[in-house]
Amino acid sequence: MRIIDTQRSGNCWKVRLLASFLGIDLQRATLSIDRGDLRSAEFINSAPMKKVPVLELDDGSRLSESGAILFYLARGTPWWPEDAKQQAQTLAWMAFEQEQHMPPLSRLRLHLALRKDLTAEAAQARRWLHESNAALSIFEAHLATGRRWVCTDTEPSIADVALYPYTRMSTMGGIDLDVYPHVEEWVARIEELAGYQALFPGRPDMNLSSLELTSKLFSI
């Protein structure tokens, strides 16, 4: 199996992270948005939704959408709960991530890394900041009920994987995670799991760096 990804995409990180937790050896083909790789005919013809991540299966077929790929990899493992109610809750938190959480957090991160402050184009960036904090507040209140994982009791599910990258990188958008202590503890729990893989394995200096953004080698 091979993942087609970009270097700093949180959506792509989800897939590599779960594969690593599951001990799946995932080949990697890393594209650059900046270089125009995602506009190439080769990518457009091969990517069902024209975005990364794409998971290429051994039979040559390709899957799009991080949540769908997480589901595909997790079936038959504890990362996809057996109980129907927990499955529904997992899907609900993954929908929350795609609708309310990832969009403002990823846009804020990119905006701040490129423009350095919230004064330029303030109105839009402040909306993203407001929406990001609203999503993190919902997540904090959920975790504050005493749960260790997003919707399962004993072991994490793919909802935890889906919510992790953009929560982890929210500080790049100027968000102080100290304000969300249960979220911070949950982030630490994820990072203690066997098989955890950082955004840049072996390069902790790169994980929360925005250097590539300012030198225009970056894609969200």
Ligand X SMILES: N[C@@H](CCC(=O)N[C@@H](CS)C(=O)NCC(=O)O)C(=O)O
Binding site for ligand X (CB under 6 A): 6, 9, 11, 33, 38, 51-53, 65-67, 98, 220
> 73-91 burial string, b = 16+ CB within 10 Å, else e?
bbeeeebbbeeeebeebbe
C-beta of 10: minimal distance to ligand X in Å? 6
Nearer to ligand X, 14 or 133 (CB): 14
**Cα–Cα distance for residue pair 209/124, rounded to 1 Å:** 23
Nearer CB in complex with ligand X: 38/175: 38
Residue whose C-beta lies closest to ligand X: 51
Smallest distance, Å, CB 8 to ligand X?
8
Residue 40: what are its φ and ψ, rounded to 5°? -70, 150
Amino acid identity of residue 144, one-letter, is A
Pick the closer one to ligand X by CB: 34 or 184: 34
Total residues belonging to the chain: 220
- Considering the complex, state which of residue 9 and residue 90 has its C-beta at the smaller distance from ligand X: 9
- Gap between the Cα atoms of 170 and 113, Å rounded: 12
- How, if at all, do strands 27-31 and 54-56 pair? unpaired
CB of 34 to ligand X, least distance (A): 11
Residue keyed to tokens 């004993």: 154
Shortest distance (Å) from residue 148 CB to ligand X: 25
- Closest approach of Cβ 192 to ligand X, in Å? 25
> Closest CB to ligand X among 51 and 182?
51
Q: Which is nearer to ligand X, 163 or 183 (CB)?
A: 163
Tokens of 20: 């690593």
H runs (alpha helix) in 26-121:
41-46, 66-74, 84-96, 102-115
Q: Record the tokens describing residue 146, joined without a space.
A: 């005493």
Q: Give least dist CB 27 to ligand X, A.
A: 18
Separation between Cα atoms, residue 173 and residue 124, nearest integer Å: 13
- Tell me the C-alpha distance between 183 and 177, whole Å: 8
